[in-house]
Amino acid sequence: MRVRLLTVALMSLPLFAACADGGEDGLASPYDDDYPVSEDNVNNGAPDNDSLPDDNKADAVYPAQFKITDQSPVKSQGSRGVCSIFASTALVENLYIKAGMPVAEADFSEQYLQWAAKNLQRAFPNTDGSSSDANLKTVANHGTVKEADWAYESQPWSATNDPACSGGENLPTKCYTNGEPPASVAAAKKWKVPATRWINTNSMKAHLSTKKTGVNVGFTFFYQSWNHRRSTLPINDALWRKGVVTYPNEQDKTVSLASRAGHAIQIIGWDDNLEFEMRDGEGKPVLDAQGNPKKEKGFWLFKNSWGTASFGIENPAGPGYGWLSYKYVQEYGSAVTAEIPSLTAPREVCDDTTSKDEDGDGQANCSDADCSMHPSCQSGGTAHNYTATPAAAIPDNNPTGVSNTITVTDTGTISDVKLTVDITHTYRGDLKVTLTKGADSVVVHNATGGSADNLKQTFPVPALVGKALAGGWTLKVVDTASQDVGKLNAWSLEVASR
């Protein structure tokens, strides 16, 4: 039975997910960092492990030791509870390295992924943490950017950065993302991965050995098992230096679940023969009937996100790596992964019926320079400009929204359309904007942009190319969530026709 079911019996206990983190602070003690705790569950949305397919072949024989090598350097999440962001970014870097990207270039932005998961994917918008599942879906759906496009900030925002971030729970999203990305990020190349999937933890050896890529695992956090500084039970400094995480004893379970936490890491290998002594709640060896220390055998090799100066500094895989008990993962872990991306840049589809940006350069269809000579993008003919200034309030959290129509009497066939909107709003991630011409409706903006103010932007609308120019053009703006409000100030059409 999966441990997730244990939460039914623990509803009276506080439910948190710690992304305990340390930094490369050079202090003598490996337990001097804060290891902040965040308020969500790293296993959120995970299916029961037994419901997932077993990918092991009946005749499969795995080596006793195994390690994948296509890894970027170990990083530190500093003082922010974003372990799953770092685990997910580590996996994305692993996938791109496996695809052929040089290690030095496979350096993606944890800062951006934290923002994108909460503002574009709308996952865990009012908490520091998230889940690897949500993070990898963010990369699959929206992409991520390079570290150079938005460098990671190791300290969380406080009231010093913004008065709204004065502490407590359920703060504005910007407090957990350290604000909005630089303007240059909008034009930065977005790097995606193919669709993600949950994986049976019993199938991880099959995945690692055949795909040669990692697996992200989120799990309940047990303080003594991890030799964590917040453990109220005795911890073992030697195991901390080796990065060894053993299966929790009953006292560790009881104490840790009273302050429930979680963590996320990337599994990259295993050792069937590795053994470590079992400990009781007092930190003493557990003895068998003959008085000999009992040992736990079989450990996963994992990449952590606590830097390289303390945790795992004596691990044979390198500082910052660790060993995690098979039994621990089997009972308390959930695993998710993604497929290897292609490094071959996709070509922009110039005449498709959506505004999808296939080549990830920030420009779609006829707005992309690659499409300048495509027949569907040859405007020619006559240029028309139409403007409306409704200055209409947008109903808050109301599917009716506000609509405004421009009636066009000019005739011809549309060869190019650009829509420009001027909307003031205190949370543009709430907005859905649709342009309708006759029987054709095109959503140009759909709840993206997160907590940024206002939507003043020009959108290409290639789906209307080839349609009749004359008739009513209707813009509809819907506010999809409560609290933040705004106004449709003005909008305009720049249309070419033949």
Q: Could you read off the pLDDT of 375-386 as tens digits, one per residue?
A: 556 655 688 999
Contact yes or no for 200/52 (Cβ under 8 A): yes
Distance CA 478, CA 456 (A): 15
Reported confidence tier of residue 264, pLDDT bands at 50, 70, 90: very high
Reported confidence tier of residue 390, pLDDT bands at 50, 70, 90: very high
pLDDT at 35: 47
Distance CA 324, CA 247 (A): 8
- More reliable by pLDDT, 17 or 162: 162
Number of CB atoms found within 10 A of residue 5's CB = 9
Reported confidence tier of residue 169, pLDDT bands at 50, 70, 90: confident
Per-residue burial over 260-291, b = 16 or more CB atoms within 10 Å of its CB, e = otherwise: bbbbbbbbbbbbeebebebbbbeeeeeeeeee
Q: Which of 79-83, 103-107, 428-432, 446-450 has the lowest mean pLDDT?
A: 446-450
Distance CA 498, CA 411 (A): 9
Mean confidence (pLDDT) of the chain: 87
pLDDT at 170: 86
Answer whether residue 40 shows pLDDT above 60. Answer: no
pLDDT at 16: 37
Answer whether residue 388 shows pLDDT above 90. Answer: yes
Distance CA 406, CA 330 (A): 61
Q: β-pairing, 295-303 with 382-388?
A: unpaired
Reported confidence tier of residue 498, pLDDT bands at 50, 70, 90: confident
pLDDT at 229: 87
- More reliable by pLDDT, 11 or 393: 393
pLDDT at 443: 93
**DSSP structural state of residue 405:** E
pLDDT at 377: 65
Nearest to 43 by CA among 4, 91, 82: 4
pLDDT at 167: 77
**Mean pLDDT across the stretch 167-192?**
93
Distance CA 96, CA 81 (A): 25
List Cβ neighbours of 175 (8 Å cut-off, separation of 6 or more).
Answer: 156, 157, 162, 164, 165
pTM of the model: 0.68
Reported confidence tier of residue 26, pLDDT bands at 50, 70, 90: very low
Nearest to 436 by CA among 419, 411, 454: 419
pLDDT at 278: 97
pLDDT at 25: 35
H or E element at residue 141: helix 132-142
- Identify the structural domains of the chain with CATH numbers, from first to last: 3-338 (3.90.70.10), 345-378 (no CATH), 380-497 (2.60.120.260)
pLDDT at 374: 59
Q: Which of 21-30, 116-125, 265-274, 279-288 has the lowest mean pLDDT?
A: 21-30
pLDDT at 269: 98
pLDDT at 449: 62
Nearest to 82 by CA among 351, 276, 263: 263
pLDDT at 38: 45
Contact yes or no for 449/455 (Cβ under 8 A): yes
Reported confidence tier of residue 429, pLDDT bands at 50, 70, 90: confident
Reported confidence tier of residue 447, pLDDT bands at 50, 70, 90: confident
Answer whether residue 90 shows pLDDT above 50. Answer: yes
**Mean pLDDT across the stretch 443-462?**
83
Note the Cα 337 to chain centre separation in Å.
12
- More reliable by pLDDT, 13 or 315: 315
Answer whether residue 195 shows pLDDT above 50. Answer: yes
Tens of pLDDT, residues 326-336: 999 999 999 99
**Mean pLDDT across the stretch 231-239?**
95
Nearest to 464 by CA among 418, 421, 431: 418
Distance CA 493, CA 294 (A): 76
Reported confidence tier of residue 305, pLDDT bands at 50, 70, 90: very high
Distance CA 432, CA 406 (A): 19
Answer whether residue 17 shows pLDDT above 80. Answer: no
The one-letter amino acid code at 492 reads S
Query: By CB neighbour count within 10 A (0-12 exposed, 13-18 middle, 19+ buried), where does 470 fall?
Result: middle
Reported confidence tier of residue 62, pLDDT bands at 50, 70, 90: very high
Answer whether residue 454 shows pLDDT above 60. Answer: yes
Percent of the chain with pLDDT over 70: 86
